[in-house]
Structure 1
Amino acid sequence: MNADMLLAAAEALPDPRGHAPAAPGAVLVGYGAVEELARFATDPGWTVHAPGHPVEVRRAIEHAVRRGERAYVHLSGMSNAEPRGVTEGFELVREGLDGVVAAVGATLDPVLRATAGLDLTVLYAVTVRPFDEVGLRTAVLAADHADVVLVEPGQPGLSARYVAETLVHVPHRLLALGGADGLDEAALARAIRGFLR
């Protein structure tokens, strides 16, 4: 269990006893609940965050509260070593030409270690919904191969439909891996290397 992720969520959530008027919307937090993550990710009325570091947890909750969003924040049992600056969309972490790996939340550090030495673009996202179509399409079109590996903390394929819709006019291949697979970085490395052309 990663107590820092839970503590960050507790500190960022507004005090319900406060006297300030409540903002519209709601922020729900789930810890390791991949079924809940999948449920909210299929509901277009919700923004869904899967932060990979305690700083990102605080930022996602505070951002959702300020904007009055209906937001679900998925907390993982893992944490990346360092926070990233992204709050919405994909952040370019590393550029490469042999394909694109999109890592969500706490999957980033294992993905970076698993793909070390490979000529791959690595994207990072904290926000699962809305899905960043422009960021993904831009990265795929810049690569020599339209091969996409999607690594998410929930069930495999959580965002596969969104990748397919984003790249509907781009012949591509997709490998969808999920945290529920229990993949460690060695298993990630084997799966990714086996998928690449």
Structure 2
Amino acid sequence: MNSDMLLAAAEALPRSRADVPAAPAAVLVGYGAVDELTRLAADSRWTVHAPGHPDEVRRAIQRAVRRGDRAYVHVSGDSNAEPRGVSEGFELVREGLDGVVAAVGATLDPVLRATSGLDLTVLYAATVRPFDQVGLRTAVLAADHADVVLVEPGQPGLSARHVAETLVHVPHRLLALGGADGLDEAALARAVRDFLR
């Protein structure tokens, strides 16, 4: 377990001061709270972040407070080795033609290791909601196969409905994996290879 993720959240949360009016932002932080992640990801009134590195945790909280967002920040016990520059939406990490893997939060490093040697596009997101339809659609249309693997913290299929809505006019296949699957890298690699055509 990586306590740096939780420490980053604690450091980024604003301190209350009697002489400063409270910001209108509502920022909730959940440490490994899969049920809360699932519930708030289904509520369109919330921005939902699942950062994969302590620096991303800090940025998500600070941005939410600055903008006055209603934001939920899901903090995982795992962390990617390096922070990514993405603030919202998908970031292109690797290009490939055989399909698209969308990794959310701390799933990125295991996904990269599990898919090394495969000709797959890898996307990364630290924000679950709003869902980046343009980023996903662009990556899928650029690939030779509209095969999508979604790897997220929490329950499998957290964003499956959003993928289906994004690709409603694109014949595609979807494999939705979640942290609750308890997949290690070897199992993740097998699941992806078995799914691909």
2:138 aligned partner? 138
1:3 aligned partner? 3
Secondary structure (helix, strand or coil) at the match of 1:108 reads helix
- Residues in 2 aligned to 1:195 and 1:89: alpha-carbon distance in whole angstroms: 25
CA offsets, 1:135-170, max 9 Å, x none?
Answer: 000000000000000000110000000000000000
1:105 aligned partner? 105
Report the Cα offset of residue 17 of structure 1. 2.8
Report the Cα offset of residue 16 of structure 1. 1.8
- Asked whether 1:60 is paired with 2:63, we answer no
Report the Cα offset of residue 18 of structure 1. 5.5
Report the Cα offset of residue 25 of structure 1. 2.5
- TM alignment of 1:1-197, pairs within 5 A: 1-17=1-17, 19-197=19-197
Structure 1 101/18 Cα, relative in aligned 2: closer, same or farther at 3 Å?
Answer: farther
CA offsets, 1:46-84, max 9 Å, x none?
Answer: 000000000000000001000000000000110000000
CA offsets, 1:102-126, max 9 Å, x none?
Answer: 0000000000000000000000000
- Residues in 1 aligned to 2:154 and 2:17: alpha-carbon distance in whole angstroms: 33
Structure 1 52/18 Cα, relative in aligned 2: closer, same or farther at 3 Å?
Answer: farther
Q: TM-score, normalised by structure 1?
A: 0.99
Q: TM-score, normalised by structure 2?
A: 0.99
CA RMSD of aligned residues (A): 0.7
Secondary structure (helix, strand or coil) at the match of 1:24 reads coil
**Percent pairwise identity:** 87
Secondary structure (helix, strand or coil) at the match of 1:60 reads helix
Structure 2, unaligned runs of 5 or more: none
Secondary structure (helix, strand or coil) at the match of 1:88 reads coil
- Residues in 1 aligned to 2:61 and 2:164: alpha-carbon distance in whole angstroms: 29
Q: Which amino acid aligns with 1:88?
A: E
Report the Cα offset of residue 2 of structure 1. 1.6
Q: Which amino acid aligns with 1:38?
A: T
Secondary structure (helix, strand or coil) at the match of 1:93 reads strand
- Residues in 2 aligned to 1:117 and 1:53: alpha-carbon distance in whole angstroms: 25
- Residues in 1 aligned to 2:166 and 2:23: alpha-carbon distance in whole angstroms: 33
Secondary structure (helix, strand or coil) at the match of 1:186 reads helix
Structure 1, unaligned runs of 5 or more: none
